[in-house]
C-alpha cells in the first residue's frame, strides 16, 4: 500500500509540474515580450489637388509691319497655348496682385499655325489665386514681338524662310526690381542691338557677329514698364561651347549673387565630362548681367538619375530652379534631347546648389514640359512651394507643395 501511495503522490507531483509549465508557456503566449515595430515612413512631401489654369491674354504672332490679323487673338480657358512658366509670389501683393507670372504662348492652339514659334514671345500676367490670370493694367502683351525676317538668320544662307524667335523665359525679383531673362534663337546681332539698349554692354557682347543663341535680360520696377534688353551672354566662347543650344536658363538670387542654371546639349566632347546627351551648368553673377564664363562655371551633379530606368536615352531637356530657406529646388524636364522633346518631370533638391538629390518617383511620366516651382513660405518644420505643371498640350495645372524638413537628406 505504501508503494502505491508513493507512486500516486509522485504522479500528482508530476501532474502539478506539467500544469505549472503549461501555464508558464501560456503566459508567454498571452503576454509576449514587447516588439519594437519601426514607425511607418512618412512622405517627404505632399501635393494638393491640381487646378486647371486659365489665362486671359492677347497674343501676337506677327512681326512689326506684318499684316496678319488672324495671328493676333486672345487666349482663354477654352483656347490654350501655355508654355515656359515662371512665377514670383508676393505675400502682401505687388501693385494689387500676389502672383506675377511670365510665360510664352506655345503648343495648344498655336500649333496649327505656320511658324508657331513666332507666338513664343515673353508675356506677363497676374493673379490672386494662381489659377485665373490676366494682363496687369497698363501693360501691352507680348512684351516683345517676334523678330522680323530681316532680323533673322539661319544655318543655311540660301534659306529665305528663316525665322528667329524668343523662348525660355524666367523671372526673378531682387532689391525692388523685376529681372526677366529669356533666350533668342537665330536673331541677328543687328536685330538684338535694334531691340536693345544702345549700351557698351551690347556692343561688346555682340561684336563677334550673329549668335545662334543669346541670353538677354530686361528689368522693371513696376512690372509694366520695362527697360530695353541687354545681352547677358551668347552661344560662343568664352561663355558657351560654340553654337550650343543654351536651353531653359533659370535664375535665382541667393542673398549675395545671382545663380543661374541651364541645360547644355553635348554638341562637342571636348567641353563635357562624359557622353551624356546633356549637362546642367551652374553660373553666377553679381549684377545679373555679367555671368561667369563656361570655364569659370561648374556642372551640376545629380546623385541619382531615376529617369534612366524609364529610357536609357533620357536626359535633362528643360529645367527651372528656385531657392528658399537655404534649400535649392529644381524641376527637371526629361526627354530625348536630340528630338527636342520633353516627356517626364522630376523634382530635386540640394543644400549646396551643385549636388542635387532627385526624388525617385516622377511627378509626370508623359507630355510634360518646362514647369516651375516658386517659394511660398517656410517655418521650422515645413517648406511650402507653389508648382505650375506645363504640358506639351499647351496647358498649365497649379498646386501647392509642402516638404517636411526632417525627412529631407541634407
pLDDT digits (tens, 9 = 90+) for 259-289: 999 999 999 889 999 999 999 999 999 999 9
What is the pLDDT, as a whole number, of residue 155? 64
What is the pLDDT, as a whole number, of residue 9? 44
What is the pLDDT, as a whole number, of residue 409? 79
177 shares its domain with 56: yes
Q: Give the CATH number for residue 386.
A: 2.115.10.20
26 shares its domain with 138: no
225: in domain: yes
116 shares its domain with 23: no
39: in domain: no
89 shares its domain with 25: no
What is the pLDDT, as a whole number, of residue 126? 98
332 shares its domain with 309: yes
Cα separation, 354 vs 305, in Å, equals 15
Percent of the chain at pLDDT > 70 equals: 88
4 shares its domain with 145: no
Low-confidence ranges of the chain (pLDDT < 50): 1-41
22 shares its domain with 156: no
120 shares its domain with 85: yes
| Domain of residue 30, residue span | 1-34
206: in domain: yes
pTM: 0.88
- Other CB atoms within 10 A of residue 310 CB: 13
387 shares its domain with 358: yes
12 shares its domain with 50: no
359: in domain: yes
17 shares its domain with 118: no
Environment class of residue 190 by beta-carbon count within 10 Å: exposed (0-12), middle (13-18) or buried (19+)? middle
The answer to whether 102 and 410 have CB atoms below 8 angstroms apart is no
- Count of domains in the chain? 2
227 shares its domain with 267: yes
The answer to whether 89 and 108 have CB atoms below 8 angstroms apart is no
322: in domain: yes
258: in domain: yes
- Other CB atoms within 10 A of residue 280 CB: 24
The answer to whether 396 and 85 have CB atoms below 8 angstroms apart is yes
Amino acid at each position: 500500500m505504501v508503494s502505491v501511495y508513493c507512486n500516486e503522490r509522485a504522479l500528482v507531483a508530476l501532474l502539478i509540474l506539467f500544469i505549472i509549465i503549461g501555464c508558464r508557456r501560456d503566459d508567454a503566449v498571452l503576454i509576449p515580450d514587447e516588439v519594437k515595430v519601426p514607425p511607418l515612413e512618412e512622405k517627404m512631401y505632399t501635393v494638393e489637388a491640381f487646378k486647371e489654369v486659365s489665362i486671359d491674354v492677347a497674343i501676337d504672332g506677327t512681326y512689326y509691319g506684318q499684316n496678319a490679323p488672324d495671328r493676333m487673338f486672345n487666349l482663354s480657358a477654352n483656347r490654350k497655348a501655355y508654355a515656359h512658366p515662371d512665377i514670383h509670389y508676393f505675400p502682401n501683393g505687388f501693385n494689387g496682385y500676389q502672383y506675377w507670372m511670365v510665360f510664352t504662348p506655345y503648343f495648344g492652339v498655336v500649333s496649327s499655325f505656320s511658324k508657331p514659334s513666332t507666338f513664343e514671345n515673353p508675356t506677363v500676367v497676374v493673379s490672386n489665386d494662381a489659377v485665373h490670370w490676366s494682363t496687369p493694367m497698363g501693360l501691352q502683351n507680348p512684351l516683345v514681338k517676334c523678330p522680323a525676317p530681316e532680323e533673322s538668320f539661319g544655318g543655311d544662307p540660301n534659306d529665305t524662310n528663316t525665322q528667329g524667335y524668343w523662348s525660355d523665359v524666367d523671372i526673378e525679383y531682387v532689391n525692388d526690381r523685376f529681372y526677366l531673362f529669356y533666350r533668342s534663337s537665330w536673331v541677328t546681332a543687328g536685330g538684338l542691338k535694334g531691340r536693345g539698349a544702345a549700351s557698351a554692354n551690347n556692343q561688346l557682347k555682340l561684336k563677334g557677329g550673329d549668335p545662334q543663341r543669346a541670353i538677354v535680360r530686361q528689368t522693371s520696377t513696376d512690372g509694366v514698364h520695362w527697360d530695353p534688353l541687354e545681352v547677358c551672354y551668347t552661344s560662343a566662347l568664352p561663355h558657351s561651347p560654340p553654337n550650343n543650344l543654351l536651353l531653359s536658363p533659370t535664375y535665382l538670387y541667393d542673398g549675395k549673387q545671382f545663380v543661374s542654371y541651364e541645360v547644355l546639349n553635348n554638341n562637342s566632347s571636348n567641353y563635357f565630362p562624359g557622353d551624356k546627351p546633356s549637362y546642367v551648368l551652374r553660373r553666377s553673377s553679381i549684377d545679373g548681367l555679367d555671368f561667369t564664363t563656361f570655364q569659370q562655371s561648374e556642372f551640376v551633379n545629380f546623385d541619382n538619375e531615376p529617369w534612366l530606368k524609364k529610357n536609357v536615352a533620357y536626359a535633362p531637356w528643360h529645367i527651372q530652379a528656385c531657392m528658399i530657406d537655404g534649400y535649392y529646388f529644381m524641376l527637371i524636364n526629361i526627354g530625348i534631347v536630340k528630338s527636342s522633346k520633353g516627356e517626364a518631370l522630376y523634382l530635386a533638391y540640394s543644400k549646396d546648389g551643385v549636388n542635387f538629390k532627385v526624388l525617385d518617383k516622377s511627378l509626370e511620366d508623359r507630355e510634360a514640359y518646362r514647369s516651375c516651382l516658386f517659394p511660398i513660405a517656410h517655418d521650422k518644420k515645413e517648406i511650402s512651394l507653389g508648382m505650375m505643371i506645363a504640358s506639351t498640350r499647351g496647358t498649365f495645372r497649379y498646386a501647392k507643395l509642402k516638404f517636411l524638413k526632417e525627412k529631407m537628406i541634407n
